[in-house]
Amino acid sequence: MSEKRKMRVKPKASEYSEEVSGHGAGKPPRPPTEEELRQSEGVEGTRKLHLKEKEVRDLKNQKADRVLNPIEVEEILSENLEKEQGFEREIELGPVLSRRGRDFLLLVVLGNLGLILTAILLPANSIFGVALLSGFVLYNLGLWWVLYVVMDRY
């Protein structure tokens, strides 16, 4: 039993563009005429275009004013300083006490205690001994690197 398959034929580019856009292929859409705009005013989904009037400034006079009265940086800074003086408060900063030393010692003791407990619980073996020894070295050096090189004072 053979079934006939229907092949779907794609439309040509010119037919496609005429179907979609409603005008010939390769031609840009034309703007609507005034009559079409008047007719579409009542059509739902369209709206009338309203343009607001813009203020017109005379740039020649503005440029001349800038040349005659140039902006002075010192003048602007002095105005800012006058405004800031009402808001200024003196803040005394004491020495920054770092807690890094205390934290480092606490973490060294706790970390090494954990490694010692691991050494007690594991069987006495040279493989575990080397692994624990390298654990001590890596943990202590890594902790020192993080607290004293990577991190700022806190």
Residue 19's pLDDT is 46
What does the mean pLDDT of the chain come to? 77
Residue 65's pLDDT is 65
Structure-block tokens of residue 116: 């010692």
17-53, pLDDT tens digit by residue? 444 445 555 677 778 777 776 666 555 555 666 777 8
48-69, pLDDT tens digit by residue? 667 778 787 777 776 666 666 7
User: In angstroms, rounded to a whole number, what is the distance separating the alpha carbons of residues 148 and 104?
Assistant: 9
33 and 21 Cβ atoms separated by less than 8 Å: no
Does 16 score more than 80 pLDDT? no
The residue written with tokens 């070295």 in the block is 137
Cβ burial 49-64 (10 Å sphere, 16+ → b, else e): eeeeeeeeeeeeeeee
115-131, pLDDT tens digit by residue? 999 999 988 888 889 99
